[in-house]
Amino acid sequence: MWLDHRAVNQVHRINETKHSVLQYVGGVMSVEMQAPKLLWLKENLRETCWDKAGHFFDLPDFLSWKATGVTARSLCSLVCKWTYSAEKGWDDSFWKMVGLEDLVADNYSKIGNQVLPPGTCLGNGLTPEAAKDLGLPAGIAVAASLIDAHAGGLGVIGADVRGHGLACEGQPVTSRLAIICGTSSCHMGISKNPIFVPGVWGPYFSAMVPGFWLNEGGQSVTGKLIDHMVQGHAAFPELQAKATARCQSIYAYLNSHLDLIKKTQPVGFLTVDLHVWPDFHGNRSPLADLTLKGMVIGLKLSQDLDDLAILYLATVQAIAFGTRLIIEAMESAGHSISTLFLCGGLGKNPLFVQMHSDITGMPVVLSQEVESVLVGAAILGACASGDFASVQEAMARMSKVGKVVFPRREDKRYYDKKYQVFLKLVEHQKEYASIMKGD
């Protein structure tokens, strides 16, 4: 549902209100948030959905409701996606202004009027019905949830980094940026005081690590974009056949193929004349422009496996340049980041990890446990069952550093030049749009 961009007109009208709650979503509400989606449902499915629905949930709240029967919402989902404030609660004037006054009249019962910090034990734990479905004991503790990316952030950001030679050792946790890279990528930076970063969601209080403000940068399609580029290429069937014959994933095969064709130069240099702008599903951060499209510059007539591998590499690099742009926006607003903590499905791809390190110039820490989103969920579960006194204590005990990848400093000049081209791509795209809009 989050990837559904149908509520374009609705989000446009919401943004035109310039309501003060928008300050807390980076200044521009995203079409991926819940207010525009609710408005779309009201305007398009009034009788079949809007009037009939008992509750509207974010996925993590839906899951905890199914597990426990408790309709209380997590502070994380309401603050990050529904404009709820941890300090002030709901703002009636916002919902009235955007045409969703019925939610206010109903005392927010459909979207949540009981809000709990993540990690709080819900009701009597797992219901007998859910226990049967899941094969778990009834009554086992179930925690108020976190959104997937936030659980990933919690699962990695508190790890003890001593002995790895990292700049963040001995520094406040605010010098770490968690990047959760799956279908989309989410860039989670925390601070003691609120930081307003134009185009970057937040600041959200206590939405990930209790007591800290969170800024959440994001790229709407990353893993999905890589899959799309690779699967849509004419050489994809050949790639699949060769990877299967070697019992490898297509990405492991592509990475070894790139190693083969790079000869003596660094692998990243294969894209000297192939450049990608990665916003095939709009830009979430920091440009917050859902009208932006993808671009590929430097195509040739050949469509063999070498071309596919190099296009894949250029796409991976474009995603890493997008991360660099987000980090620069966060730093110019007041964040000071020295180390990346990366997790999610793309963390399994060594090329993706190395490119993020080379292109941002920062070390990338991978966790011992690959599924860090599940570690975050386990941290919440451990808090709900009383194993730890606080989320912070559980984070420090349950997250563990696995591998650390350092940037190849000698390649910096090349990536700086490619970054210049990257920035020109979006400039040109905007120029084309403006030419086409003119008379």
Ligand X SMILES: O=C(CO)[C@H](O)[C@H](O)COP(=O)(O)O
Query: What dihedral angle (degrees, nearest 10) is formed by the CA atoms of 33, 35, 39, 45?
Result: 60
Query: Looking at beta carbons only, is 206 or 349 nearer to ligand ADP?
Result: 349
| Binding letters toward ligand ADP, positions 319-358, x by CB under 6 A | -------------------------xxx-xx---------
Q: What CA–CA distance (Å, rounded) separates 36 from 23?
A: 16
**118 to 177, contacts with ligand X by CB under 6 A?**
147-149
Query: Looking at beta carbons only, is 80 or 308 nearer to ligand X?
Result: 80
Query: Looking at beta carbons only, is 169 or 371 nearer to ligand ADP?
Result: 371
When binding is defined by CB under 6 A, the residue of 183, 248, 338, 385 that contacts ligand ADP is 183
Cα–Cα nearest to 367, from 394, 390, 340 = 340
Is residue 122 part of the contact set for ligand ADP (CB under 6 A)?
A: no
Cα–Cα nearest to 379, from 359, 398, 400 = 398
Which of ligand X, ligand ADP, none sits in contact with 407, Cβ below 5 to 8 A by type? none
Q: What CA–CA distance (Å, rounded) separates 176 from 180?
A: 13
Work out the number of other CB atoms within 10 angstroms of the CB of residue 106.
11
Q: Which two tokens stand for residue 194?
A: 């609120």
DSSP category for residue 266:
-
Is residue 294 part of the contact set for ligand ADP (CB under 6 A)?
A: no
Identify whether the C-beta of residue 218 lies closer than 8 Å to the C-beta of residue 185: yes
Using the Cα atoms of residue 22, residue 24, residue 147 and residue 58 in order, give the sign of their dihedral.
Answer: negative
DSSP category for residue 120:
P
Q: What CA–CA distance (Å, rounded) separates 152 from 158?
A: 11
What is the total count of residues that contact ligand ADP (CB under 6 A)? 13
Which of ligand ADP, ligand X, none sits in contact with 147, Cβ below 5 to 8 A by type? ligand X
DSSP category for residue 109:
T
Which of ligand ADP, ligand X, none sits in contact with 355, Cβ below 5 to 8 A by type? none
Is residue 182 part of the contact set for ligand ADP (CB under 6 A)?
A: yes
Is residue 183 part of the contact set for ligand X (CB under 6 A)?
A: yes
When binding is defined by CB under 6 A, the residue of 227, 307, 331, 369 that contacts ligand ADP is 227
Residue 104 CB, nearest distance to ligand ADP (Å)? Answer: 34
Read off φ and ψ for residue 96, nearest 5 degrees: -70, -40
Q: Which residues contribute to the site for ligand ADP (CB under 6 A)?
A: 182-183, 223-224, 226-227, 249, 251, 344-346, 348-349
Q: Which residues contribute to the site for ligand X (CB under 6 A)?
A: 2, 80, 147-149, 182-184, 186, 216, 218
